[in-house]
Chains A and B, each alone.
Chain A
Amino acid sequence: MARAATADLIALSAQVLPIEGSDEDLKRLADSEALALTPPELRAIRERLGREPTRAEAHAFAIQWSEHCSYKSSRAFLGSLPTQSPDVLVGVGEDAGVLRAGEIDGTEYGVVVAHESHNHPSQVVPFEGAATGVGGILRDVLCMGARVVASADPLRFGPPLAGSHAAYVAAGVVDGIAAYGNAVGVPNLAGDLYFHPSFRDNCLVNVVALGFVQRDRILHSRVPELGEGYDLVLVGKATDASGFGGAAFASLTLDAQESHANKSAVQVPDPFLKNVIMRASYAAFDTIAAQGIKVGFKDLGAGGIMGSSSELCAAGGFGAEIDLDAVPVALRGLAPFVVLMAETQERMLWAVPPAFTPQLLSLYNERFTLPEVAANARAAVIGKVTRDRQYVVRAGGMRVCDLPIEVLTQPVRATWKLGPPQAPALAVPAPLVTDVTGALLAVLAHPDVCSRRPLIERYDTVVRGATAIPSGYADAGVIVIERPSPRAVALSVDGNARFGAISAKLAAAHAVVEAARNVAAVGAVPIGLTDCLNYGNPEDPVAYRELADGIEGLAEAARAVTISSDAGLPFVSGNVSLYNHAASGSAIVPSAVVACIGRIDDVRKTVTMQFVESGDALYVLGARDDRLGGSVLAGVLGLTPSGELPGIDYQEVNASLRAVIDGIGRGDVHAAHDISDGGLLACVAEMCLGGDGVGEIGAVLASCEQWAPGIAPSAALFGEAGGFVVAIAPDSRASFEEAARSLGARPIRLGQTGGSSLVVTGVCEIPLGTAAAAWMRPLQDLFA
């Protein structure tokens, strides 16, 4: 059970740190104490407390005021994002957001969604970093009272050259995701993958998770009203030193020379324990619902016990008293401030009425035998909810923290110098491509376009038996809520790294629109978004401008996509990851990664991207565009990388979204795919090949002049202006065209399905086997 720390370690935690002297003195203090705090922040702590902090308090502030926890650099901009719509059941501010998923047998269900990053840990220890990223996001969803049903992983790496560090990181990350997700029994439903030199020193490992919960059983990340005197019950793995300083670490600039010293900030995953904890928690949810008990529930992430307990209690308007001697620990000799703030994985915190506590302890410790699953894992009462709004932590009878809880949890802000607007991109004429076959094969083999099958095959995509469309077969994954009901949810993640290199704002806007298109392409109505804002060092004016521009782009696009609500698409959860900036000076390209949730009333009507019938009519929705900036073709041909990006016509976007969703609902659409990486011709090639690359139905497209008049053929075929290609049943052509036009969409006939090649009349004829060979091969060595 819990083991008391030695008197020396307790005294160390309670020791007062002198906040005095010059900036240089305070920097030395911060360095010697491993506190990620600036001199002004150290002085602000003294001012807010009216005294100097103890060592434990100083570390608590360092974590709570880290970029990861406080959003101090991004908070000023995040307010511009839309967050409300009739579909929002729980908005931003809790562990995860909840959107209306639909009614089944008179019971309303919510889809719970959370989005996080684990970028820095994954760069240092790829396997553990990625695995604990998945573990953390699952807890966020679980803590809303939900069954965790799916995860997704947007990934960004440096170019995957054989034997390179980037390839090692990529392989380790995918191993970690697979090892955790497969063992914990949650299917991987979606993901995206980009390679860019800027990710060589800072990979991006974003994680998204979904859960389902009955609306009347949603739990909240706060102590409920009348919660005074509630027990605080810590559940999970025994606390060790792993992850101590993790949140502060996540907010530091990565330096290869320093990575060795970051060892203690690495968290250790245990998916098998998590699996048991999840099942035990489900049983607790059932009991709580049956008995009508009001509780609070929160995962332990950044700042460990301190972060979770202070936020859980402060959000309910309460204080807390924590007894560190009651915390189950994994090893002797841990200083109390380490026990308080270590980020040991697989832990959660309940606030429950004392009368319910014995039942809860028995459930975890006896019925689900946590102590037998992992060393000293268990549920244990570690404190009380108090009325006085003080946050008090004791160890060995000594107070190591005693401060007003709001002082610790209230937001802080950091404002940095904003750089000038990004220079406008260059207008670059579309090139003449004489060898379209060669260009298409090169585009299909490009790491940003080629088949993700070697990666997806590492993941269990169907465990739980609820996956209707697994990852890789369509633009979004689809999962049913509760069989035999046909209600389902679609999930897509997007964010074009090449676009980010050119315009932070337009790339972010494209990410929103593409994510919405992707869920629409299976027949789902987009109802909400999450984001992960991955940028460089905000103290650099250029990176700070990119962050501001990126959020502006997200807000503009989300408000403009009014497919499900006049208010646009709400963001219900999200994360900001800054300081993706190596000491060498290289920052990542601005990377706003967006996840979109779509609602499906009847999963039987969904479609994938693969052609299913010869003779179907092919249409393109979305005007083609001469601008090739950020396109894969530009990279393949070695064109200037900073050419203008295609624009976005939101009126057309809304009309096309509705036309495709309605068309799929009526059964007119046999296959649909959004036009993105690689452009229209790569899009059609992927529709021929299907998710497994074994499709046998080809396509014959009319000459470019017929469906993209006035546009250079290279831009028509390879330009990445967004849109859809849809395959329409022959007898539905008229109804599809008429309905689409009535919505304001402009479907243009592209050709038809059939044959065993991809043909562009007068331009090229590529056997499907040739296209498949180019598309399937490139990632096999990396992820095999």
Chain B
Amino acid sequence: MKLDVAIEPIVTDNTAFTVLTALRQLGYAELERVWRADHLLLELSGDGSAEEVVARLSRAEIVFNPNKHRLRYAIAGVRAARGEMFEALVRDRDENNDRLVATLRTTFGIAGLRALERSMAWRLDDRAGPATMKRLEWACQALLANPISQTYEIRPAPEYRELGEPASAASKRVR
């Protein structure tokens, strides 16, 4: 099983504002909103449910602090993604998460964790609605990803939900 996890700031996101301003100055004048989250892609083995893993992850203060974050998740590849909304994942080329995986396994009890990829997730909204894939591609090339040290991937945005929230509620909620 693979889990997409988004850890979003719930306090003022200065970085998102800076990106908003910078992208406007770079020519994306109709941009209205920038959303950003730490993204984890967890590769899991064993019989544990997604909810159990997310519950354990929500106690792992090395990645999540309830005083400043909201944690949402989606089961990768299970649900059909909403085609009209895209998300850019920007990842460091030299990323090494071995220590984080070991800590999550041993200290925080996510025993079935086999691997983890960490990236920054970005979504953009403009006056017409969610930004197109082409726009996100441009934003990654112009600002969001440093080609020397980072890679990026643009994909249909998953429908994240909070722990205990039914999938149907997540699909109805306006993000």
CB contact list, B1-29 vs A, under 8 A: 10-12, 14, 17-18, 21
- Among the stretches B38-46, B64-72, B110-118, B122-130, the one at the interface with A is B64-72
Residue on B with the closest CB to A238?
A: B12
Residues of B within 8 A of A272 (CB): 14, 18
Residue on B with the closest CB to A331?
A: B12
CB contact list, B32-90 vs A, under 8 A: 61-62, 65-68
Asked if A240 is at the interface of the complex by the 8 Å CB criterion, the answer is yes
Minimum CB–CB distance for A403 against chain B, Å:
31
Contact partner, B17, options A163, A242, A269, A375, Cβ 8 Å:
A375
Contact assessment for B61 and A263 in the assembled complex, using a CB-CB cutoff below 8 Å = no
Residue on B with the closest CB to A269?
A: B14
Residue on A with the closest CB to B107?
A: A163
Asked if B103 is at the interface of the complex by the 8 Å CB criterion, the answer is yes
Contact assessment for B17 and A266 in the assembled complex, using a CB-CB cutoff below 8 Å = no
Contact assessment for B14 and A266 in the assembled complex, using a CB-CB cutoff below 8 Å = no
- Bound together, the chains give a CA A125 to CA B66 distance in angstroms of 9
Asked if A168 is at the interface of the complex by the 8 Å CB criterion, the answer is yes
Contact partner, B11, options A259, A268, A273, A374, Cβ 8 Å:
A268
Contact assessment for A165 and B107 in the assembled complex, using a CB-CB cutoff below 8 Å = no
Asked if A286 is at the interface of the complex by the 8 Å CB criterion, the answer is no
Contact assessment for B21 and A242 in the assembled complex, using a CB-CB cutoff below 8 Å = no
Contact assessment for B14 and A268 in the assembled complex, using a CB-CB cutoff below 8 Å = yes
- Bound together, the chains give a CA A372 to CA B22 distance in angstroms of 10
With A330-B12, A374-B17 as contacts: A125 and B65 at CB distance below 8 Å: yes
With A272-B14, A374-B14, A375-B17 as contacts: A165 and B67 at CB distance below 8 Å: no
Contact assessment for B14 and A168 in the assembled complex, using a CB-CB cutoff below 8 Å = no
Residue on B with the closest CB to A784?
A: B99
Contact assessment for B67 and A259 in the assembled complex, using a CB-CB cutoff below 8 Å = yes
With A168-B62, A268-B11 as contacts: A262 and B17 at CB distance below 8 Å: no
Counting chain A CB atoms within 10 Å of each CB, the highest count among B10, B62, B65, B66 belongs to B65
Residues of A within 8 A of B10 (CB): 263
Asked if B168 is at the interface of the complex by the 8 Å CB criterion, the answer is no
Contact assessment for B12 and A262 in the assembled complex, using a CB-CB cutoff below 8 Å = no
Kindly count the residue-residue contacts between A and B in the assembled complex, taking CB atoms under 8 Å apart.
Answer: 41
Residues of B within 8 A of A273 (CB): 14
Minimum CB–CB distance for B65 against chain A, Å:
6
Contact partner, B67, options A260, A269, A373, A374, Cβ 8 Å:
A260
With A128-B11, A168-B61, A268-B12 as contacts: A260 and B18 at CB distance below 8 Å: no
- Bound together, the chains give a CA A163 to CA B17 distance in angstroms of 33
Residues of A within 8 A of B68 (CB): 125, 128, 263, 266
CB contact list, A238-293 vs B, under 8 A: 240, 242, 259-260, 262-263, 266, 268-270, 272-273
Residue on B with the closest CB to A270?
A: B14
- Bound together, the chains give a CA A389 to CA B24 distance in angstroms of 47
Residues of A within 8 A of B61 (CB): 165, 168
Minimum CB–CB distance for B63 against chain A, Å:
10
Task: Mark each residue of chain A from 708 to 747: 1 if its CB lies under 8 Å from any CB of chain B, else 0.
Answer: 0000000000000000000000000000000000000000
Contact assessment for B12 and A266 in the assembled complex, using a CB-CB cutoff below 8 Å = no
- Bound together, the chains give a CA A187 to CA B67 distance in angstroms of 29
Residues of A within 8 A of B67 (CB): 124-125, 259-260, 262-263, 266
Minimum CB–CB distance for A243 against chain B, Å:
10
Residues of B within 8 A of A168 (CB): 61-62
- Bound together, the chains give a CA A205 to CA B43 distance in angstroms of 37
- Bound together, the chains give a CA A70 to CA B66 distance in angstroms of 31
Residues of B within 8 A of A128 (CB): 11, 68
Minimum CB–CB distance for A666 against chain B, Å:
51
Residues of B within 8 A of A268 (CB): 11-12, 14
Residues of A within 8 A of B21 (CB): 372-373
CB contact list, A162-209 vs B, under 8 A: 163, 165, 168
Residues of B within 8 A of A373 (CB): 21
- Bound together, the chains give a CA A269 to CA B17 distance in angstroms of 13
Asked if B106 is at the interface of the complex by the 8 Å CB criterion, the answer is yes
Minimum CB–CB distance for B125 against chain A, Å:
15
- Bound together, the chains give a CA A757 to CA B118 distance in angstroms of 46
Residues of A within 8 A of B12 (CB): 240, 242, 268, 330
With A128-B68, A374-B17 as contacts: A266 and B107 at CB distance below 8 Å: no
Minimum CB–CB distance for A167 against chain B, Å:
9
- Bound together, the chains give a CA A242 to CA B61 distance in angstroms of 21
Residue on B with the closest CB to A265?
A: B67
Counting chain A CB atoms within 10 Å of each CB, the highest count among B11, B18, B61, B66 belongs to B11
Contact assessment for A163 and B106 in the assembled complex, using a CB-CB cutoff below 8 Å = yes
- Bound together, the chains give a CA A272 to CA B65 distance in angstroms of 24
Task: Mark each residue of chain A from 225 to 242: 1 if its CB lies under 8 Å from any CB of chain B, else 0.
Answer: 000000000000000101
- Bound together, the chains give a CA A323 to CA B17 distance in angstroms of 27
Residue on B with the closest CB to A377?
A: B17
- Bound together, the chains give a CA A301 to CA B12 distance in angstroms of 18
Minimum CB–CB distance for B99 against chain A, Å:
9
- Bound together, the chains give a CA A372 to CA B20 distance in angstroms of 11
- Bound together, the chains give a CA A270 to CA B14 distance in angstroms of 7
Residues of A within 8 A of B11 (CB): 128, 242, 263, 266, 268
Minimum CB–CB distance for B117 against chain A, Å:
21
Contact assessment for A260 and B66 in the assembled complex, using a CB-CB cutoff below 8 Å = yes
- Bound together, the chains give a CA A163 to CA B106 distance in angstroms of 9
Residues of B within 8 A of A263 (CB): 10-11, 66-68
Residue on B with the closest CB to A167?
A: B62
- Bound together, the chains give a CA A266 to CA B103 distance in angstroms of 27
Minimum CB–CB distance for A329 against chain B, Å:
12
Residue on A with the closest CB to B9?
A: A268
- Bound together, the chains give a CA A685 to CA B11 distance in angstroms of 46
Minimum CB–CB distance for B101 against chain A, Å:
13
Residues of A within 8 A of B106 (CB): 163
- Bound together, the chains give a CA A623 to CA B104 distance in angstroms of 51
- Bound together, the chains give a CA A273 to CA B18 distance in angstroms of 10
Task: Mark each residue of chain A from 90 to 126: 1 if its CB lies under 8 Å from any CB of chain B, else 0.
Answer: 0000000000000000000000000000000000110
**25 A-B residue pairings within 8 Å (CB atoms):** A125-B67, A125-B68, A163-B103, A163-B106, A163-B107, A165-B61, A240-B12, A260-B66, A260-B67, A262-B67, A263-B10, A263-B11, A263-B67, A263-B68, A266-B11, A266-B68, A268-B11, A268-B12, A269-B14, A273-B14, A330-B12, A372-B21, A374-B14, A374-B17, A375-B17
Q: Which B positions have Cβ atoms within 8 angstroms of A?
A: 10-12, 14, 17-18, 21, 61-62, 65-68, 103, 106-107
Q: A125-B67, A263-B10 are in contact. List 5 more A-B contacts (CB 8 A).
A: A128-B68, A165-B61, A260-B66, A268-B12, A374-B17
